[in-house]
Structure 1
Amino acid sequence: MDTGLAGRTAIVPGSSSGIGLAIATMLAAEGANVVMAARRGDLLRRHAAQLPSALAVELDLTEPDGPSRLADAAIGWFGGVDVCVLNGGGPPPMTAAEISDTELLRAMETQLLAHQRLIAAVLPGMRERRWGRIVGVGSSFVQEPAPRMVGSNAGRAALASYLKTLAAEVAPEGVTVNLALPGRIDTDRLVALDHATAERTGRSPEQVRAESIARIPTGRFGTPEEFAAVVTFLASEPASYVTGSQIRCDGGVLRSL
């Protein structure tokens, strides 16, 4: 399948490791120029140097001017932004009863507002060219809130609602907006969450991991590359009639329709 991404320019925040790095790598393999962003600048630059056409931008996307700085760098270097991936770290585990208003506001800042600011910076160019792809990296928590993950549950659900609203507004102008929902993808973030669960419950990380895998119909965790393939399709030319959708990549762990 020809993805039609050759020569396009994609922004991928949080791409120094894990899911973000896998997405940036796969988009680059399809011929896209990739603008990679993360706080770990040295690591980011090493990864960017291995791709055919990539720019590394060291910044914190959650800072108020982070999204505009990233967009300006992409436009200045490659002339425009065709694909905008919304990706970043998640809030720490916490229950709904114990979360403070400050912590909840921080979750909204990182999970919703930073992404909204990035969209605002790149959307005018997409609308002008009448072609664009906005792909959010969400979580299965959007459709099934997880225990002790209230910050992520609330923030990602808010992003899902925002993107669904936006999708209908910009569809007539050739811009699609979708949300990809990863389940248990084998990343450092997943390892950290499993260790936190193990410490809280008195089990070993190996026990937590085994119990988690036992609940997944495919019998394993997903790989970052498998999830990146879903995002790459949603960013592609053949996906031009897919918008306002939530696409799961979770090994069948969610049993709802």
Structure 2
Amino acid sequence: MNFKIVFQIAILLGYAAFFLKSIWNGTVSMYVHPRIIPFLIFAAAAMLVIAVLLLGSIVRGRGEKVSLLPLLFYAIPAIMAFTIPPQSFDSNTATIGEIQLKSGTYGSSNLFSLRETRHKNSQNEMSGLADADTGTNTTPEENPGGTKSMLYMDTDNFVDCMNDVYEDIDSYIGMPIEAVGFVYRDENQFKADEFVTARLMMVCCAADMQPVGFLCRYDKTGTLKADTWVKVDGTIDKTEFSGDTIPYIKVDNVQPAEKPDNNYIYPY
């Protein structure tokens, strides 16, 4: 029996099982962007094929002395994947990048990568604006008779809303906004009455996770616990932050909110 081949087959089957199990139970979203899932399925299928092809070599090389130690470097991560339960990231996770409230940049990712795509699609499909009376999608320029609109930010349009406001802050000043996210506070960057209604943005995988959101000013910020989920109601205004002009939310009310099933958002 060639135990090196047996070990290799076990490792291949272990990784394939982990990929497929994560996809089946939905925990894969804690590790990678959904667009990576087809590649994981392909990788799992390839590993299964290779494992089957290696079956014919199990009884070959009999009596040959081989070292299994190098294979431990592949086996240990597979064992950890099955024994350590997946956990959602929050602002205290060591690998999370720092939030950057600057126009046009959020870490290494291009938050405005949707700009060209958004202009190619209809405004009704991409806008996060809803008319206060009709509930239909609209833009500030389309509001009849100066009817106030409401900017609703949720999982599906969080990035799009940020893109729209950052591209043309002046058009949104004074507009009511409702946003759901977790409380992000940084004593080194923010004043005592400031926090961010944040979401964790994943560009590719968990390694590039970064909190994004609008700066909020609220006279009761001190009562808010970091990483708790809240719904913020207020109006949009602009301010100076670290030498940049950025939008912020003048908060009128903060209410507890439920954590969404998938607390990550994606720029594309």
TM range (shorter): under 0.3
More strand by share: 2
Q: What TM-score does the superposition give when structure 1 sets the normalisation length?
A: 0.24
- Tell which structure's C-alpha radius of gyration is larger: 2
Q: What TM-score does the superposition give when structure 2 sets the normalisation length?
A: 0.23
More helix by share: 1
